[in-house]
Amino acid sequence: MDTVIKIDKLQKKFGKFEALKDVSFEVKKGEVVGFIGPNGAGKSTTIRVLLGILKRSGGSVEVFGKDAWDDEIEIHKRLSYVPGDVALWGNMTGGEIIDLFIKLHGGAKRNKRDELIKKFELDPKKKAKNYSKGNRQKVGLIAALSVDSDLYILDEPTSGLDPLMEAVFQEEIEQLKNEGKSILLSSHILSEVERLADRVVIIREGVVVEQGTLDEMRHLTRSNVILQTTGDLSVFKNMTGVYDFQQKGKELSFSIDHEHINDLLKVAATMPMDKFEIVPPTLEALFITHYENDEA
Amino acid sequence: MNRNFALWEYLFIQYLKRDWKKIVFWIVGLGLFCGGFIPFFEEIAKGDGLLGMYETMQNPAMISIVGPTPISDPQAYTIGAMYSNEMLLFCGLFAFIISAMHVVGHTRREEDLGLQELIRSFRVGREANALAVMVETVLINLVLALFVCGLMVSFNLTGIDVTGSLLFGLSIAMLGIVGAVVGLLMAQVMSTSAGAIGGSIALLIVLYIVRATTDISNVSLSMMNPLGWGYLTYPFVENNWLPIVYALVFSIVGIFVAFVLESKRDMQDGYIPQFEGKAHASKRMLSVPGMFWRITRGTNIAWLIGFAVMGAAYGSVYADMQSFLNSNEMMQQMFTVQGISIEVSFTATIMFVVQGLAIILPIVMLNKLYNEERRGHLSQVYSTKVSRNQIYWSVIGIAICLSVFANLAGSFGLGGMAIASMSKSTMTFIDFIGAGFNYFAVFLFFIGLGGLCIGYAPKLGKLLYLYLGYSFMVSYFLNLLDLPEWVNQTSALNWMNRVPMESFNVSAFLIVGAIGIVMMILGAIGYHRRDLHEGV
């Protein structure tokens, strides 16, 4: 089976409020999909519907080809989930909770638990009520990564982790990716998504507004150009596809539509260049441009 | 259907492991309370004690508090009959509250925290957690029943037989189970755990007061009251097992309904609609006291209404009481000794119940300050120019205002309803207000204690409930047990004279009130100096 998650025209209403209006996307086997959007856009709601915790109001949601609500238990056997704010029983130790979660999932990969506890530098003997936010998050991550699953649903999994631990997390995810596991990663740390995700789904106000590979998305937008030349600067200003033109002495900065980059290169090649940089848009820039455009 | 409960047995065993300390404390603590008072009662029963107590227990005021006895022949009032008459209802209430709180704490609360979301992401059925918690709670209650039974039998007294003891224990356990079911139902209906606990306790209070009136007017109506299914078994007297059956049926139906409700709702959602709030703060809440009032407004108003309703419910007993006495000449003589009318003695007894409960409200308010501090909600307030003094005195000020209102709400409800329902009365409305106001110094005392806790040992703030509960118990047993005077004096509720039966003691009122105010000031000093406990 190729498609792991298949969401089609998903809707979810809370009373009169429409949290999800039209959400459709897929996650294929072995794919890491970044799921991004502003606060309140419906990311966590979508994930909870996927988990069979919320019942959808319309559309269809399939995981491993099974209905997310009706066959939740079958689905959950092959799935691991980490929420953005891991809540724990205060009077149990981290180690006890990890063991419980592993058991509830149905069995761990050998030694993986202890290896992860070491890697994430978690003290498993502490009571959960004494853990900081980051340490609670580690408990959730260790439990989820210790088991053998085919699908990992991660809802802002690294919130509260320090950069070193975030690096450990990224390593683990890359390893899973290499093993051919599917991952749905919702995150606000866009550099993380950029690094890990094969495809990105952007949701806004309960609607999926954009999806595709990062490259595809970049094609839809502009790259930033910085150049410094002793030649004629005004040529660039009047080129088609150039926006946000700014001049500071001999240095220019502007953005340019993807289809006009060739034109730019031709012109630039005829001039003596002191500096010439083309930076593809970061996901962050994509994200921001997207919303600015939408609001306009 | 089975799929909905997948892995419940694993959760169940896990929960027993997780909760075992609490469970031991619960069973032994509540068990000793339920079964361990027998030696005291043995003392009372000596000589003419049983006869005297039988007469005391015929007083409608006592019936409204502890429930009736089916015995009409005073000679048949054995120690077992007395024990179940005086203890069973109260023990049942405790079992109810503890079970309801346990169930809500492990269902709705864990849902609110997001813990259940994580649990549900495993191959765990939708209802598995609820079932595991219910089975755990039922089991705890059944063990409790056996413990109580064993404890009572171990005293080896004639009149305390095995059958009666078992029924006594089971009656308590059944109320615990009913409490668990009510908690589970509330957990589905309400949208927060605080709402579910509040709803369960509010329902309990309503049931308690309703049964007070039906016990006096028509006991058979009490049989329709879930609380009645506890004490109407009349252990050691009639050994009536029928109420246990009612409770069982209710519990099974209730659990089934709760499961259906749960399966039909979204996680973290309830059945009571939530309304949109305002986008802007109203001017009134833009101050330190305004802020504290705003965050506690809902609960405060609910409590105040609750006190007024409670007072009114007890007030409605007065009419029943009069007709009850008019129908029985001997009783009439018994209760109008020394020129004190039945209304007066009833008011004196019931007022401590009403006002003792009303003291909960300022305690809730004071504990709110520490809760907010601990959760870090006030971090952003502490970092402004608002001083700790302002915060402290705002909370104390609101607590004092709430005390005034709570005090009046109880007295108004009681007095208003009593005057309205009685055909002729020896008491005026002012008598009721005065009898209530008598306890105001005790309110101040408790606020002072709360202030000391906030200032020096905020973690101990929760113990105020315990001390209030203890004071309540001691005052409650004042008429029932022959406790030594020094024990009676450990209850703050006993420091005031029982007005209107006794006269208002001005010096006691002033001294207790002044001690309260001094403690508030000391608390302010401590609060100014201590470390704040954020995120503890």
B398-455 per-position pLDDT tens digit:
999 999 999 999 999 999 989 988 877 778 999 999 999 999 999 999 999 999 999 9
What pLDDT does A167 receive?
93
Residue of B1, B19, B117 for testing the chain A interface, max A β-carbons within 10 Å: B117
What pLDDT does A43 receive?
93
Contacts of A100 in chain B (CB under 8 A): 14
How close B118 comes to chain A (CA, Å)?
7
- Whole-complex ipTM: 0.77
Cα B30 to Cα B92: distance, rounded to the nearest angstrom: 10
pLDDT < 50 positions in chain A: 296
Cα B91 to Cα B168: distance, rounded to the nearest angstrom: 10
What pLDDT does B495 receive?
92
What pLDDT does A257 receive?
83
Cα B147 to Cα B95: distance, rounded to the nearest angstrom: 14
Q: pLDDT tens-digit profile of B60-71?
A: 878 888 899 999
Residue from B184, B66, B194, B175 nearest B132 by CA: B184
Contacts of A101 in chain B (CB under 8 A): 118, 122
CB contact under 8 A, A51 and B266: no
Q: How far is CA A8 from CA A21, A25, A46, A66, A214, in A?
A: 11, 7, 12, 13, 22
Nearest residue in chain B measured CA to CA from A83 = B118
Which tokens sit at A247?
């001049």
Query: Domain spanning A3-213 has what CATH number?
Result: 3.40.50.300
Which A residues 49-88 touch B at CB under 8 Å? 51-55, 72-74, 76-77, 79-81, 83, 85-88
Element housing B173 (H / E): helix B162-189
Can you tell me the mean pLDDT for B452-470? Answer: 93
Q: How far is CA B151 from CA A154, B81, B290, in A?
A: 53, 17, 52
Q: Identify the weakest region by mean pLDDT among B18-32, B181-195, B478-492.
A: B478-492
| Phi, psi angle pair for B186, to nearest 5° | -60, -35
Nearest residue in chain B measured CA to CA from A137 = B118
Q: Identify the weakest region by mean pLDDT among B294-298, B376-380, B413-417, B532-536.
A: B532-536
How close A76 comes to chain B (CA, Å)?
5
Nearest residue in chain A measured CA to CA from B7 = A104
How close A294 comes to chain B (CA, Å)?
25
CA angle in degrees (0–180, nearest 5) for B88-B353-B149:
15
CB contact under 8 A, B122 and A105: yes
CB contact under 8 A, B115 and A104: no
Q: pLDDT tens-digit profile of A178-215?
A: 999 999 999 888 888 888 999 999 998 999 988 998 88
CATH class of A222-280: alpha beta
Provide the b/e sequence for B155-188 (b: ≥16 CB within 10 Å).
eebeebbeebbbbbbbbbbbbbbbbbbbbbbbbb
In a domain? residue B464: no
Which tokens sit at B244?
């246990």
What pLDDT does A1 receive?
53
Which tokens sit at A181?
């596991």
Task: Rank A228-232, B210-214, B252-256, B378-382 by mean pLDDT and report only the highest.
Answer: B252-256
CB contact under 8 A, B123 and A76: yes
CB contact under 8 A, B267 and A101: no
Cα A115 to Cα A135: distance, rounded to the nearest angstrom: 16
SS3 A175: helix
Strand ranges of the sheet holding A32-36, from the earlier edge strand across to the other edge: A66-67, A58-63, A3-14, A17-28, A207-213, A199-204, A32-36, A182-186, A151-155, A79-82
What is the percentage of chain B residues whose pLDDT exceeds 90?
57
| Phi, psi angle pair for A247, to nearest 5° | -125, 130
According to DSSP, residue B337 is labeled G
Domain ranges in chain A are: 3-213, 222-280
Query: Quick check: B197 and B101 in contact, CB under 8 A?
Result: yes
SS3 B260: helix
Cis check: omega of the bond before B70, within 30 degrees of 0: no
Cα B429 to Cα B470: distance, rounded to the nearest angstrom: 30
CB contact under 8 A, A89 and B273: no
Element housing B274 (H / E): none
Q: Residue B1 above 60 pLDDT?
A: no
Nearest to B121 among A55, A81, A87 (CB): A81
What pLDDT does A8 receive?
96
What pLDDT does A296 receive?
43
Nearest to B114 among A85, A104, A105 (CB): A85
What pLDDT does B536 receive?
60
Nearest residue in chain B measured CA to CA from A149 = B122
What is the percentage of chain B residues whose pLDDT exceeds 70?
96
Residue of A53, A80, A153 for testing the chain B interface, max B β-carbons within 10 Å: A53
CB contact under 8 A, B126 and A14: no
Range of the domain at B181: 1-35+89-274
Interface A-B, measured as beta-carbon pairs within 8 A, has a size of 69
Q: Residue B337 above 60 pLDDT?
A: no
What pLDDT does A19 receive?
92
| B333 vs B375, more confident | B375
What is the percentage of chain A residues whose pLDDT exceeds 90?
49
Can you tell me the mean pLDDT for B237-252? Answer: 96
Q: Where are the alpha helices (DSSP H) in B218-316?
A: 219-222, 228-231, 242-264, 288-315
CB contact under 8 A, A104 and B117: no
SS3 A37: coil
Cα A69 to Cα A131: distance, rounded to the nearest angstrom: 33
Domain count, chain B: 1
Contacts of B11 in chain A (CB under 8 A): 104
CB contact under 8 A, A104 and B123: yes
How close A246 comes to chain B (CA, Å)?
40
Nearest residue in chain A measured CA to CA from B9 = A104
Nearest to A53 among B10, B120, B125 (CB): B120
Cα B131 to Cα B259: distance, rounded to the nearest angstrom: 9
Residue from B310, B314, B324 nearest B346 by CA: B314
What pLDDT does A67 receive?
94
Q: Which residues touch A288 (CB under 8 Å, ≥6 apart)?
A: none
Nearest to A104 among B18, B113, B119 (CB): B119
Q: pLDDT tens-digit profile of B480-519?
A: 777 788 888 999 999 998 888 888 999 999 999 999 999 9
Contacts of B269 in chain A (CB under 8 A): 14
Strand ranges of the sheet holding A242-248, from the earlier edge strand across to the other edge: A242-248, A251-257, A222-229, A273-279
Query: What is the total residue count of chain A?
Result: 296
